[in-house]
């Protein structure tokens, strides 16, 4: 081969190699581009809208549109506990200021011509009632744009008929429509279903709850309970009014429920076939998925929207999982000529309850905020990093749930808009979506200062609604009865401490009694017939007295050392979420003789490390014990093994696979 031919061959090979390298580089860049596009694909479609003042009217433009539009805002649970009341109370002025709680969500809620919430409180003018809120909170709801409140829920089932009547009166004074509970059947027949007339639309709203155990305190008035026969009758009556749109709102499910049950799906299908257009659920305190359900009504094929749980608009406590929720933002359209109505546009707005403990030292403020605006730093630009992360995670969880079904609506909300809306409301003393407000802020009589609530006869509750939701666990029902004489005595004492004594006695399943009383009672009920029986009875009496002493001493120690008491609440996991709940108390560093308790060990380390309980809230109150050269991380101090096991299985074991329960007797570790 000549040198020329060899050179030509080398050139051709070089060109071929360059072509291969170029093709490889091109394919690599193409793959990276595709991967980048796939990576940037959001899990939910975002649609941005502008906040604009409602009811704009330009007289120079002739209106020829044959369609009328109505804007709906449908939110989830709105809680108020004694903690919220204490946060909102200003000692300097002696007044409650609830404006901050809904300040950042009210520009959005005020866009709704009809804005609906599930009211998990009442207005009884009694701060010692844990199911009641100061009247000022009702005014805050009015200013936030809420004009329909639903109270068919377990909280309404824990107030009396007189308290329901006053709650209705307060809501009427604020021009907030309400339904779901009624003083009697006559009132129900005249006011149910609720028909809301706005801008030429007739909206039918029906509300039901699931009460597995109805407290005696509420059995003399009507609460709509889930029953297909009643629902069918009510739906027929609703359609007699020829509504343009029908909403059925259920307070159903169990606390912390993640996925809808078959019964809920079947019930949703049932009410759709009875004529509903939208089905909404609440109660689980966490968001659940949203489905589009096909059904047939009057021979016509339709598609209904079912939101199994909207979560919380205002959460019951600081538990991170409880703070999530979303608002359904829906626009319906009606043809003015044919009167046919359809959903023209809709989406969801993820919301988060932010507990601000850093802005003002020593003070906690509660804010319900739209997550997207916190995420973009348009509101709360200086929010603590950990709280911003939680708000972003909250939005992410909602987006994962709903991304295949709904779009996320984002408004151009910022601090300036929030302040302008608040100023407008303060000047006009009325919300933006309804300028009519028969009762203004100056007309509201200031409520009394916040107090610790007390247990109400005939209702199932511990002495704290806030603590009720902090640590779900197995129910322990009180087994002791209190005489009238003791009740009068307890009224004179601090009712909070009195209930603690009863709770301690209930845990040991024995009454708080004197040694003489116990011995006398045993002798009267179990008389000995022989000398052997007498000895056995005497030993039994002594055993009872010994077992009674720790309960007495523990109750006494709690009454004396109130500053060193931790309070954990154990509540039902059934559908009611409240039935049979009772408070359990434990004194710090109080280990008595023959004292048995259970703890959860989740770490055993050679070197100690601090844990951020602001983020890992489920580890609050952890302690470190040095044993066998290891730093062992312990959580809780439970008298009941079942309670400990329940918390371990639901909160700790899923996160820490190596965790286990440890038994202590007299402060000594007994088992693994």
As a CATH number, domain 71-433 is 3.60.21.10
Give strand pairing partners of 351. 325, 370
| Cα–Cα distance for residue pair 322/314, rounded to 1 Å | 9
| Cα–Cα distance for residue pair 620/652, rounded to 1 Å | 12
Percent over 90 (pLDDT), the chain: 46
- Please check whether residue 152 is in contact with residue 251, taking contact to mean a CB–CB distance below 8 angstroms: yes
Residue 440 tokens, joined: 């203004």
Residue 314 tokens, joined: 């205002």
pLDDT digits (tens, 9 = 90+) for 421-460: 999 999 999 999 988 888 888 888 899 998 888 777 777 6
Least confident of 40-54, 126-140, 252-266, 552-566: 552-566
Q: Is 426 exposed, middle or buried (0-12, 13-18, 19+ CB in 10 A)?
A: exposed
Q: Once rounded to an integer, what is the mean pLDDT over residues 49-75?
A: 71
Q: Residue by residue, what is the 3-state secondary structure of 478-530? A: CCCCCCHHHHHHHHHCCHHHHHHHHHHHHHHCCCCCCHHHHHHHHHHHCCCCC
Q: Are strands 660-665 and 668-669 parallel, antiparallel or unpaired?
A: antiparallel
Q: Once rounded to an integer, what is the mean pLDDT over residues 656-662?
A: 89
Would you say residue 153 has pLDDT above 90?
yes
- Please check whether residue 659 is in contact with residue 600, taking contact to mean a CB–CB distance below 8 angstroms: yes
What pTM, to 2 d.p., does this model score? 0.66
Q: Once rounded to an integer, what is the mean pLDDT over residues 611-623?
A: 79
pLDDT digits (tens, 9 = 90+) for 460-478: 665 676 666 554 333 333 3
Give the mean pLDDT of the chain: 78
Give strand pairing partners of 172. none
Question: Which distant-in-sequence residues (6+ apart) come within 8 Å of 90 by Cβ?
Answer: 96, 97
Range with the largest mean pLDDT of 273-287, 441-455, 620-634, 657-671: 273-287
pLDDT at 65: 63
**pLDDT band of 582, cuts 50, 70, 90:** very low
Q: Once rounded to an integer, what is the mean pLDDT over residues 392-421?
A: 93
Percent over 70 (pLDDT), the chain: 71
pLDDT at 130: 86
Second-level CATH architecture of 591-669: 2-Layer Sandwich (3.30)
CATH 3.30.70.1070-classified regions of the chain:
591-669
| Cα–Cα distance for residue pair 487/470, rounded to 1 Å | 28
- Determine the angle formed by the axes of helices 228-240 and 262-273, rounding to 10 degrees: 30
Would you say residue 511 has pLDDT above 60?
no
pLDDT digits (tens, 9 = 90+) for 101-148: 999 999 999 999 999 999 999 999 998 888 999 999 999 999 999 999
| Cα–Cα distance for residue pair 625/637, rounded to 1 Å | 13
C-alpha of 382 from chain center:
26
Find tokens 């409602």 and name the residue: 54
Greater model confidence, 14 or 151: 151
End-to-end Cα distance, the chain: 85
Least confident of 119-128, 307-316, 476-485, 648-657: 476-485
pLDDT at 306: 96
- Determine the angle formed by the axes of helices 135-143 and 161-173, rounding to 10 degrees: 40
CATH 3.60.21.10-classified regions of the chain:
71-433
Number of helices and strands in the chain (H, E): 17, 27
| Cα–Cα distance for residue pair 588/568, rounded to 1 Å | 12
Backbone torsion region of residue 619, taken as left when φ is above 0, otherwise alpha when ψ lies between -120 and 50, otherwise beta: alpha
**pLDDT band of 332, cuts 50, 70, 90:** very high
**pLDDT band of 534, cuts 50, 70, 90:** low
Q: Are strands 114-120 and 67-79 parallel, antiparallel or unpaired?
A: parallel
Question: Which distant-in-sequence residues (6+ apart) come within 8 Å of 285 by Cβ?
Answer: 77, 255, 256, 311, 312, 315, 316, 321, 322, 469
The torsion angles phi and psi of 394, rounded to 5 degrees, stand at -60, -45
Long-range contacts of 433-441 (CB under 8 A, 24+ apart): 433/54, 433/110, 433/111, 433/112, 433/113, 433/115, 433/145, 433/147, 434/145, 434/147, 434/175, 436/175, 437/142, 437/174, 437/175, 438/173, 438/174, 438/175, 439/139, 439/173, 439/174, 441/139
- Please check whether residue 353 is in contact with residue 312, taking contact to mean a CB–CB distance below 8 angstroms: yes
pLDDT at 53: 52
- Please check whether residue 633 is in contact with residue 463, taking contact to mean a CB–CB distance below 8 angstroms: no
pLDDT at 63: 53
| Cα–Cα distance for residue pair 491/484, rounded to 1 Å | 11
CA dihedral sign, ordered 416, 421, 422, 423: positive
**pLDDT band of 33, cuts 50, 70, 90:** very low
| Cα–Cα distance for residue pair 50/433, rounded to 1 Å | 16
Give strand pairing partners of 201. 198
| Cα–Cα distance for residue pair 329/645, rounded to 1 Å | 41
pLDDT at 460: 66
Q: Once rounded to an integer, what is the mean pLDDT over residues 202-225?
A: 93
Find tokens 């108390």 and name the residue: 585
């Amino acid at each position: 081969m000549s040198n020329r031919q060899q050179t030509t061959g080398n050139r051709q090979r070089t060109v071929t190699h360059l072509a291969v390298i170029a093709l490889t580089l091109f394919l690599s860049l193409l793959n990276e581009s595709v991967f980048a596009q796939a990576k940037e694909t959001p899990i939910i479609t975002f649609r941005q809208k502008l906040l604009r003042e409602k009811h704009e009217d330009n007289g120079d433009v002739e209106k020829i549109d044959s369609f009328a539009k109505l804007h709906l805002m449908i939110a989830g649970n709105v809680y108020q506990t004694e903690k919220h009341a204490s946060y909102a109370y200003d000692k300097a002025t002696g007044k409650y200021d609830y404006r901050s709680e809904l300040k950042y969500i009210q520009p959005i809620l005020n866009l709704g011509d009809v804005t609906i919430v599930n009211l998990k409180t009442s207005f009884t003018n009694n701060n010692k009632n844990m199911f009641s809120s100061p009247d000022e909170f009702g005014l805050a709801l009015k200013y936030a744009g809420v004009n329909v409140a639903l109270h068919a829920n377990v909280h309404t089932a824990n107030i009396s008929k007189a308290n329901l009547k006053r709650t209705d009166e307060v809501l009427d004074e604020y021009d907030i429509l309400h339904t779901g509970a009624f003083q009697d059947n006559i009132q129900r027949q005249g006011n149910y279903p609720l028909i809301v007339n706005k801008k030429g639309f007739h909206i039918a709203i029906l509300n039901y709850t699931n009460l597995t155990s109805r407290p005696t305190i509420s059995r003399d008035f009507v609460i709509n309970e889930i029953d297909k026969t009643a629902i069918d009758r009510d739906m027929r009556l609703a359609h007699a009014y020829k509504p343009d749109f029908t909403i059925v709102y259920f307070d159903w499910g169990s606390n912390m429920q993640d996925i809808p049950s078959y019964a809920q799906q079947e019930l949703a299908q049932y009410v759709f076939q009875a004529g509903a257009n939208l089905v909404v659920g609440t109660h689980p305190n966490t968001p659940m998925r949203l489905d589009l359900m096909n059904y047939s009504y009057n021979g016509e094929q339709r598609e209904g929207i079912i939101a199994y749980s909207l979560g919380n608009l205002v959460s019951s406590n600081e538990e991170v999982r409880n703070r999530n929720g979303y608002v359904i933002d829906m626009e319906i359209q009606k043809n003015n000529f044919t009167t046919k109505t359809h959903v023209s546009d809709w989406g969801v707005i993820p919301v988060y309850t932010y507990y601000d403990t850093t802005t003002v030292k020593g003070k906690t403020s509660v804010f319900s905020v739209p997550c997207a605006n916190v995420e973009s730093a348009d509101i709360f630009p200086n929010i603590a990093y950990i709280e911003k992360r939680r708000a972003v995670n909250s939005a992410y969880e909602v987006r994962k749930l709903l991304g295949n079904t709904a779009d996320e609506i984002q408004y151009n909300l910022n601090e300036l808009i929030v302040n302008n809306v608040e100023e407008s409301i303060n000047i006009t003393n009325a919300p933006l979506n309804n300028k009519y407000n028969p009762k203004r802020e100056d007309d509201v009589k200031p409520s009394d200062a916040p107090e610790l609530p007390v247990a109400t006869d005939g209702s199932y509750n511990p002495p704290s609604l806030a603590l009720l939701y902090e640590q779900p666990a197995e129910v322990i029902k009180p087994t002791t009865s209190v005489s009238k004489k003791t009740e009068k005595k307890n009224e004179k004492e601090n009712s909070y401490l009195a209930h603690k004594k009863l709770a301690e006695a209930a845990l040991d399943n024995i009454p708080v009694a004197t040694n003489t009383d116990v011995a006398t009672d045993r002798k009267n009920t179990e008389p000995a017939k022989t000398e052997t029986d007498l000895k056995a009875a005497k030993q039994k009496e002594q055993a009872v007295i010994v077992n009674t002493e720790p309960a007495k001493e523990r109750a006494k120690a709690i009454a004396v050392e109130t500053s060193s008491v931790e309070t954990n609440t154990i509540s039902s996991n059934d559908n009611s979420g409240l039935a049979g709940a009772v408070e359990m108390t434990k004194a710090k560093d109080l280990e008595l003789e023959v004292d048995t308790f259970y703890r959860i060990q989740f770490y055993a380390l050679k070197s100690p490390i601090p844990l951020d309980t602001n983020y890992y809230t489920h580890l609050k109150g952890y302690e470190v014990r040095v044993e066998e050269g290891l730093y062992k991380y312990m959580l809780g101090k439970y008298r009941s093994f079942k309670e400990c096991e329940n918390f371990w299985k639901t909160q700790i074991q899923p996160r820490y696979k190596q965790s286990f329960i440890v038994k202590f007797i007299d402060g000594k570790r007994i088992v693994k």
